[in-house]
Amino acid sequence: MIVMKFGGTSVENAAAIERVCGIVRDRRPERPIVVVSALAGVTDQLVRLGRLALARETEACKRGWEALRGRHLAVLAELAAGAPAPPEAQALDGLLEELRQLLRGVMALRELTPRSHDALLSFGERMSPVLVRLALARGGLPAVLVDSRQVIATDERFTEAKPLLAETQRRAEEHLRPLVDAASIPVLGGFIAATVRGVPTTLGRGGSDFSASILGGALGAERIEIWTDVDGMLTADPRVCPLARRIPRISFVEAAESAYYGAKVLHQATLQPAMLKNIPVWVLNSRRWLPGPPDPRHSGTLITARPLAPRGKASPRAGMVACISSKRRIALLDIVSTRMLQAHAFMKAIFEVFAVHQCPIDMISTSEVSVSLAISALDRVPGLVDDLSRFAEVRYEGRKALVCLVGEGMRNTPGVAAAVFSALDGVNVRMISQGASEVNIGFVIEDDDLPVAVERLHRRFFADARTDVAPAPPRALGAATGAP
């Protein structure tokens, strides 16, 4: 059994969904479970609708809702190819009506709590599986819709809920295993889940990857496939550095660190359930699908426990750095002790404030009387500053970027830091940190300097990497193995 997750761009319109059908058909002998994101851009639109409702912008909210409805019904009409009033139209209308009621409620109460925000964002991943299931069924595949909220159980941390793995495993065995055993193809929305009492939650933005891994882990899948719009994990964010190229193989540790430090192609927590059960994860491009099982020599990125090829075989990677991750929209907080508290109490007080605000710290450096922190949760800054100001002087600077080089080959390799900072000559580096695991070196710079910094590092660390990856052969449609 395998789990296949298709991201927003992989299901953005009818043509993309038809492509998904081809890929799933190719994998049918491997008994796939299909997890899908909302159609590209829909979650952002739902966020916007929430804001409009809160501001009682009735007309704009109505237009936004109509656009969402129009888009889903247009995709449905194309996929249904003229079939009169398919039951899916009713299902979508039911969901859209529910969404409208929710927006009305937000307007009436002028309140959008994290809990109702999760309910609002759930609609994207509740509508897309309806469309994908229909397309699979019309293509002759025995696809069955499953409500993720009945399978993935989480805690009550709305907007960033954490899965309850034992309960989820029990539910996956109950709701999914029998379908897979009966050769059906379950189709679920990613990103969404529910508390044990059934209140809808979400796993954090980009969380559909995490859903796939949670389900793969729960059922002991042979493989988890993350289908997206790039050729795999790349050596850098392609939006920042055009030199970025595909990484054929990378370890769990490297990929997890890269995701944590901004490689958006994987949700931060994606690799945890896979690592726990040692399940290989693939990142693949749905626009360049190749029939047959994936092969890192030709396409995608294979993520496993081992970073390098088996002994005696050619290393798939020449350099010691696997990936240069980066995060924009970072804020720097400098917290200087007023010496009201002793050094150890000062640290404790700072961390307590961050815990109360549930604010993750991206990077930290300390001295006796001051602590500098890089954070990306910008919405928490005003509250943090208020609370920290009770016992410290706080300075805040925005428009920073964080860069992190990740690679297991950096461990025990002398001179890495020197090579990094000589490549960055002339760039103003504000904070430096090396993780205890020695598989990363990170630093904070001005946001404007990001493209040039990443390009220089890329030239320095990937210039002599072997191009031992054969170019992908052209996609051979119809050559799929085991088609039904």
Both tokens assigned to 161: 């809920």
Task: Tell me if 236 sits within 8 A of 244, measured CB to CB.
Answer: yes
Nearest to 123 by CA among 57, 52, 50, 198: 50
Is 22 near ligand ADP (CB under 6 A)?
no
Is 206 near Mg ion (CB under 5 A)?
yes
Least distance (Å) between residue 38 CB and Mg ion: 11
| The binder of ligand ADP chosen from 86, 206, 280, 294 (CB under 6 A) | 206
Both tokens assigned to 293: 């099982």
Residue nearest to ligand ASP (CB): 208
Is 232 near Mg ion (CB under 5 A)?
no
Is 129 near Mg ion (CB under 5 A)?
no
Task: Tell me if 446 sits within 8 A of 400, measured CB to CB.
Answer: yes
Is 323 near ligand ADP (CB under 6 A)?
yes
Strands 301-304 and 223-228, sheet pairing: unpaired
Q: Pick from Mg ion, ligand ASP, ligand ADP, none: which does 239 bind, CB < 5 to 8 A by kind?
A: ligand ADP
Is 206 near ligand ASP (CB under 6 A)?
yes
Number of residues in contact with ligand ASP, rule: CB under 6 A?
12
Output Rg (C-alpha) for the chain, integer angstroms: 23
Q: Residue 366 forms beta bridges with which residues?
A: 371
Q: Which is nearer to Mg ion, 7 or 316 (CB)?
A: 7
CA 226 – CA 235 distance, rounded (Å):
17
In the window 14-43, what residues touch ligand ASP (CB under 6 A)? 37-38, 43
CA 192 – CA 204 distance, rounded (Å):
9
Least distance (Å) between residue 405 CB and ligand ASP: 26
440: phi > 0 → left, psi -120 to 50 → alpha, else beta; which?
A: beta
Q: Pick from ligand ADP, Mg ion, ligand ASP, none: which does 9 bind, CB < 5 to 8 A by kind?
A: ligand ADP
DSSP string over 253-311: HHHHHHHHTT-TTS-TTTHHHHHHHT--EEEEEGGG--SSS--TTTSSEEEES-SSPPT
Is 234 near ligand ADP (CB under 6 A)?
yes
Give the phi and the psi of residue 13 in degrees, each rounded to 5.
-155, -175
Q: Pick from ligand ASP, ligand ADP, Mg ion, none: which does 263 bind, CB < 5 to 8 A by kind?
A: ligand ADP
Residue nearest to ligand ADP (CB): 7
Task: Tell me if 451 sits within 8 A of 241, measured CB to CB.
Answer: yes
x-or-dash pattern for ligand ADP, window 399-438, by CB under 6 A? ----------------------------------------
In the window 303-342, what residues touch ligand ASP (CB under 6 A)? none
Residues within the interface to ligand ASP (CB under 6 A): 7-8, 37-38, 43, 124, 190-191, 205-208
Binding site for ligand ADP (CB under 6 A): 7-10, 37, 206, 228-230, 233-234, 236-239, 263-265, 323
